[in-house]
Structure 1
Amino acid sequence: MPISSPPAGVVLAAGLGTRLRPLTEFRPKALCPVAGVPLLDHALRRIRPFVSGSAVNAHHLADQVRRHLDGTGVHISYEEEPLGSGGAIAQLAGWIGDRDVLIHNADAWLVDDLTTLISNWDGELPRLLVTPADGVGDFGGWNYVGVSLLPNRFVRDLPTGFSGLYDEVWAGEHERGRLEFVEAHGPVVDTGTPADYLTANLLANGGESVIGEGAVVEGSVVESVVWDGCRVGRHERLVRCIRGDGGVTVQA
């Protein structure tokens, strides 16, 4: 039987984005754009049709997340120190209440609209969106892509402080054969590295370079991303690069 009430939606957005530095020295990874839209907004739009409310956790450059979400009605959970995926959900337990949870990593870019993930879920077992692994994956033949459904009973049992959902929930449930897997439709990209971040942008833009709003390109760009308001000088040629805030250029 399907669940009787919509779950709470949580987008995990507190990561430091260390692999994307120096881009993430200027803005949090969750606000890095893919095809001109922040990763955070992609995730919020994807979960919105299925949830009864949305929350975001924030740590690194949290004020930017707050300003970005001002007036949207999205609840923000501020973390003084990174809490991991389990700790983030535990800190949100009061806001979640008795609801189940639809969780989306902010840095997971995908085209799946999550209908298959949500359909006919009865709220009894954790359900993960996955892709087939090339060899041994996160869970046997599957790799987790950053979107999952968590029954409420696990929320209540999560410890406060730093913890991960893999250690606290998924690993044990997998050993007991009590995880459900749903294969994602279409491409999935973990945007944690410059190369993968560039891949997501090119996929989202039909293989063409992405030039942000207000960007000035006097030189040339090839399979590259230029953020809003940035400039490429007349003598510059960017090939598979990201031009970010402060004139930072990262080779992908």
Structure 2
Amino acid sequence: MRSTPDALMLFAAGLGTRMKELTRTRPKPLIEVAGKPLLDHALDLAREGGASRIVANAHYLADQITAHLARSEVLVSDERDVVLETGGGLRKALPLLGPGPVFTLNTDAIWTGPNVISTLKAAWDGDRMSALLALVPREAAVGYSGAGDFSLALDGRISRGEGYVYTGAQILDPAGIETISDPVFSLNLLWNRMIAEGRAYGVIHRGGWCDVGRPECLPLAEGLLSDAAR
């Protein structure tokens, strides 16, 4: 079993309902930001961060996701029958990902600055951690309208609270995921266990981050990329 993660799960199965008309005929991961699909922005991060095995799940308009990835090295975990949410989707993909801790990465965000996969890899300590989440301070979260997801202690442990926003990138040890009886569930169930055990940690992303979950976030994401290029 590997202790340093090298497999990565891309979450690409969501319905994208907040994108309204933009996802009527195409899945959200194929919406373009600065001329490139969101899925490809995420793939660039994964590859540049050193992921050697990449798996993407697909549900809504899955044929488009599968066709887009057909000539790549990315394996597809087919969820056409039912969308399994993040936890169920990860559990189904584990035979493709292999044993041990894995990276997971959402496909609906834009990043600038240091590669978040490299940041997570450098901070990971499997002896102390079952989860390591990449966070940004609430005031640095572009396109985000909530109060935050987590509080961050001085020793790096996280708890439910405000102040820091989960960016959609993490390292997670899926041990115990098989004990969850429901086929459809969120990774929040695992996080809650790990927080209670004191084994859930956070690391701050020191670059830009934009949530791309709504149509009005698209120009914000393109502005972030333009600013970084300058």
TM-score scaled by length of structure 2 = 0.81
Query: Which residue of structure 2 lines up, in the alignment, with residue 151 of structure 1?
Result: 173
CA contact (8 A) 2:4 2:121 kept: no
From 139, 142, 149, give the equivalent of 1:138.
149
Contact 2:55/2:97 (<8 A) preserved: no
Q: CA RMSD in A?
A: 2.2
Greater relative contact order: 1 or 2 (C-alpha under 8 angstroms, separation 6 or more)? 2
In the alignment, structure 1 segments of 5+ residues that lack a partner are: 209-252
Write the distance in 2 (CA, Å) between the matches of 1:160 and 1:96: 21
Contact 2:212-2:218 at 8 Å conserved across structures: yes
CA positional deviation for 1:120:
4.0
Equivalence for 1:17: 16
1:116 maps onto 2:116 in alignment = no
3-state secondary structure, aligned to 1:144: strand
Q: Comparing 196-205 with 8-17, which one deviates more in the overlay?
A: 196-205
1:74 maps to what in 2? 74
- Show the counterpart of 1:186: 207
Report deviation, 1:169: 1.0
CA distance in 2: counterparts of 1:154 and 1:95, whole angstroms: 18
Partner of 2:160: none
SS in 2 for 1:102: strand
Letter of the 2:99 partner, please give it. D
Cα 1:154–1:145 change in 2 (3 A) is: farther
Flag the structure with larger Rg: 1
1:173 and 2:178 are equivalent in the alignment: no
Q: Decide whether aligned partners of structure 1 residues 157 and 102 sit closer, same or farther in structure 2, where only a CA change above 3 A counts.
A: farther
- For residues 207 and 8 of structure 1, the distance between their equivalents in structure 2, rounded to whole angstroms, comes to 28
Match of 1:126 among 89, 112, 131: 131
Kept in 2: contact 1:6–1:50 (CA 8 A): no
Counterparts of 2:228 and 2:19, CA distance in 1: 21
Distance 1:162 1:116 in 2: 30
Say which SS state the counterpart of residue 137 (structure 1) adopts: coil
For 1:42, give the aligned amino acid.
Answer: H
Q: CA offset at residue 90 of structure 1?
A: 0.7
* TM-score scaled by length of structure 1: 0.74
Closer/same/farther in 2, CA of residues 87 and 138 from structure 1, 3 Å limit: same
For 1:199 and 1:207, the matched residues in 2 are separated by: 12
Q: Secondary structure at the match of 1:197?
A: helix
Name the CA distance, whole Å, in 2 between partners of 1:15 and 1:191: 13
Return closer, same or farther for 1:82/1:89 CA change in 2, 3 Å cut-off. Answer: same
Could you say which residue in structure 1 is the equivalent of 2:53?
Answer: 53
Give distance in 2, aligned partners of 1:202 and 1:139. Answer: 27
CA distance in structure 1 between the aligned counterparts of 2:176 and 2:220, rounded to whole angstroms: 35
Contact 1:91 1:160 in 2 (8 A): no
Q: Is the 8 A contact 2:131 2:170 kept in 1?
A: yes
SS in 1 for 2:216: helix
The residue type equivalent to 1:74 in the other structure is V
